[in-house]
Structure 1
Amino acid sequence: MTLLVTAVGKGFALSATDTRISIATGENYRPVEEYFNKSIVFRCAGFTGNISFTGIAEWTEGTEKVRMYDAVSESLTESILAELKIGQLAKKLGDDILRRLLSRKSYRAKREAVFEFHINGWHRDVPYGFLVVVSTFREKSPWINPNEFEKETHVDGLHLYFKSVDDFEFVVGGWDIAFYQKERQHLCEILRKGAGSFEVSQYISKVIETASTRHKSIGSRSVAVLLPQVGMLDTNAWDAAGSMVVGYMPKMIFENGTAWDPSEFPVNFHILLTGRLPRHSLFVKSIIAKQFKRADKRRIFKIRKGKFAPGIFGLLQLALFGSLPDDYDDLGLSDEEPEE
């Protein structure tokens, strides 16, 4: 079990999880991995989304060990190829995983079939973000800011909650008791006041780090995945390596069913200062917030002219294809010839 926080705000959808995997023995939790990716970005039938999960992380089928991450990927790929709508995709995902868990040869199969998925993102034909929760244990609506665009279904041991978010919404999963009520109230308040994705991700990251001292199954390190309404996929996942920054990408499954596995690549630290920062940006902003002096941070964050500096997906796109959309700065690395 992990700590998972998923939010939709003004112009962005964001999901943040800690990166620890633990083995539970009774009430005791033993960490076995501290850098595990729990998010998968996908595109299906006009919907661009991210799915994050909490609950059982791996199990055995016969002699084969199966990880939740791989099982989710398999189900998503089938849904994408079948061009399922987001509601159908969510139901199929829950059914697929529950069936696999209950068919194991385990005397505790039903008891261990505990999981929850959060799906957020945008449909190309709808101006509002979406939030979907698929759970085996959440029997009441999770929404803290109700509206008229909600639906829920309870069938075959699954509880499904759907919402089109016209204002803001967030949901906490996993060891949610470690995310205290006063912290939820503060997150609610900053979302209500129109906070951007970076401010929201920074706050959630701090809460997860604090929550790791409250329960051993929660790791102090977390990763946020951003899907802006306008712009490109971004994350705050990186590490410093001397004068270089190493960026990390989540797994992506494209509309034709092909997948890009989790990856990392180096980014020259100095080129990140070219161009202004988009409102919804995580990668560059999180680096600046961590590595730069206060005066330099203020100067960089105040730049309002010029093209946008790309986030993690933009930098990857630049590395692969040598160019970016016109609204983004190529940082002098484009293969295109400069205009005279």
Structure 2
Amino acid sequence: MTLLITVAGRDFALACSDLRITAEINKRIVIQDEHFNKHILFARDNLNANISFTGVARWRRGLQTINLYDVISESLARAPAGIKLGPLCIHLIDDIEVAFQAPVFRGVDKWLELHLLSRHSAIGVPMIMVISNYRKVAPWSQSGSEDALEWEGAHKGYNIYFKVFADDTDVIFGGSDQFVPDADRTRIKGIVSRGADAFDVSRLASAIIKAAARRTSVIGSQAVSMVFPESGYIDTNLWNRTANSIIGFVPRMVMPNGTMMGPSQFPVQLALITDGYLPRHSLFFRSIVQDAFPRRRDRRLIRRHSKGLAIPGLMGLLSLNLFGQVEDGYTDFGLNSSG
């Protein structure tokens, strides 16, 4: 079971997870995959959202291998147009339960928890929904406060917790969070409440996951984060370096028309960061800068550069590649569709 860290910040929301999946064979934990996608991005009706999950991730149906991110993606793609978030949650649970009818699950506990992190253009603040078949109480630090916009429900053995983070911040842990000490929980909640940016929060979340991985083999040491800034592009920080370029890893995406893309790879050039400035909640390029420039002074100069237009993150580059344009305020590197 993986480790999820989901954050509602002051002007961003972030989802972080490790990338390992395991199986218990003859009472031993066996690593099956160290680079497994656990994030599904989707958009519909002015809602941008990410689903991350912990628990059952992959199983067999006869000769076919089933990945949970495929089940979730196909459910989102089939959801009726105009469906609201609550009914969409019920629709998703129903489809997951159908997929769990495979013979391999007979007599086996199917532990599962989903963190649905979203921002709606008409609301402008983070919303988090936790769907779990083992969690019994709401995960919020201040659950039940009079000013909180909260809701709880249940469906087919899953407890559903929903909260709109209008004025407060929080960090929610899911999965194998028993391996996260209280000191780490306090530290990350502290920097979020004090207004840390998404990059610093993602670095600390990754460090917490890496430390937890040293305590158990069910958690992988590598982590990936997805950020939803208050304005601008969604961004991610998973990439790898090759001899000729940098390869960004794009998670599964479900478009508003039901089209699915990824998980996939996307090549980029580090030289792109010379064409503008990095937005406050940039993850992709800032993580590359952190790795490529060992001197703190160099990294500080790049971070403080504020001339020109904003540099889009990986999702912005993908938009430029697919549609030939970027949002206002972002540089298109001279590659827009009219140029």
- When normalised by structure 1's length, the TM-score is 0.93
The 2-side partners of 1:155 and 1:121 are apart by 21
For 1:64-79, list aligned pairs within 5 A: 64-79=64-79
**Equivalent position SS for 2:277:** coil
One-letter amino acid of the counterpart of residue 230, structure 1: S
Check conservation: 1:138, 1:159, Cα contact below 8 A.
yes
Shift, 1:304, TM fit: 2.1
Shift, 1:183, TM fit: 0.6
Q: What is the match of residue 333 of structure 2?
A: 331
Identity of aligned residues (%): 37
Gap change, CA 1:157 and 1:26, over 3 Å in 2: farther
Check conservation: 2:40, 2:51, Cα contact below 8 A.
yes
**Equivalent position SS for 1:331:** coil
Check conservation: 1:8, 1:129, Cα contact below 8 A.
yes
The 1-side partners of 2:169 and 2:134 are apart by 24
Q: What is the match of residue 311 of structure 1?
A: 313
One-letter amino acid of the counterpart of residue 246, structure 2: V
Q: What is the match of residue 190 of structure 1?
A: 191
For 1:255-294, list aligned pairs within 5 A: 255-292=256-293, 293-294=295-296
Q: What is the match of residue 172 of structure 1?
A: 173
Shift, 1:91, TM fit: 2.2
One-letter amino acid of the counterpart of residue 296, structure 2: R
Matched, 1:140 2:137: yes
**Equivalent position SS for 1:13:** strand
One-letter amino acid of the counterpart of residue 256, structure 1: N
Q: What is the match of residue 112 of structure 2?
A: 115
One-letter amino acid of the counterpart of residue 96, structure 1: D
**Equivalent position SS for 2:71:** helix
**Equivalent position SS for 2:103:** coil
Shift, 1:317, TM fit: 1.9
Shift, 1:170, TM fit: 2.1
Check conservation: 2:319, 2:326, Cα contact below 8 A.
yes
Q: What is the match of residue 97 of structure 1?
A: 96
Shift, 1:94, TM fit: 2.0
CA RMSD of aligned residues (A): 1.7
Q: Deviations over 1:209-261 (max 9, x none)?
A: 11111110111111111122211121001111135211111111111111112
Check conservation: 1:56, 1:112, Cα contact below 8 A.
no
Gap change, CA 1:192 and 1:145, over 3 Å in 2: farther
**Equivalent position SS for 1:304:** coil
Q: Deviations over 1:301-334 (max 9, x none)?
A: 1112321011001112222333322301123444
One-letter amino acid of the counterpart of residue 194, structure 2: K
Check conservation: 2:90, 2:155, Cα contact below 8 A.
no
The 10-residue stretch of structure 1 (5-14 or 90-99) with the greater mean CA deviation from structure 2: 90-99
One-letter amino acid of the counterpart of residue 284, structure 1: F
Check conservation: 1:226, 1:233, Cα contact below 8 A.
yes
Q: What is the match of residue 128 of structure 1?
A: 125
Q: Deviations over 1:128-166 (max 9, x none)?
A: 210000000001111114342111113431100000012
The 10-residue stretch of structure 1 (315-324 or 225-234) with the greater mean CA deviation from structure 2: 315-324
Q: What is the match of residue 163 of structure 2?
A: 163
The 10-residue stretch of structure 1 (225-234 or 57-66) with the greater mean CA deviation from structure 2: 57-66
Residue correspondences, number: 334
The 1-side partners of 2:81 and 2:270 are apart by 42
Gap change, CA 1:46 and 1:283, over 3 Å in 2: same
Check conservation: 1:145, 1:168, Cα contact below 8 A.
no
The 2-side partners of 1:99 and 1:265 are apart by 34
Q: What is the match of residue 17 of structure 1?
A: 17
One-letter amino acid of the counterpart of residue 112, structure 1: D
Check conservation: 1:56, 1:113, Cα contact below 8 A.
yes
One-letter amino acid of the counterpart of residue 261, structure 2: W
Shift, 1:62, TM fit: 4.6
Q: What is the match of residue 4 of structure 2?
A: 4
Shift, 1:110, TM fit: 5.3
Shift, 1:193, TM fit: 0.4
Q: What is the match of residue 152 of structure 1?
A: 152
Gap change, CA 1:135 and 1:58, over 3 Å in 2: same
**Equivalent position SS for 2:330:** coil
The 2-side partners of 1:83 and 1:32 are apart by 38
Check conservation: 2:10, 2:193, Cα contact below 8 A.
no
The 2-side partners of 1:159 and 1:87 are apart by 13
The 1-side partners of 2:78 and 2:337 are apart by 36
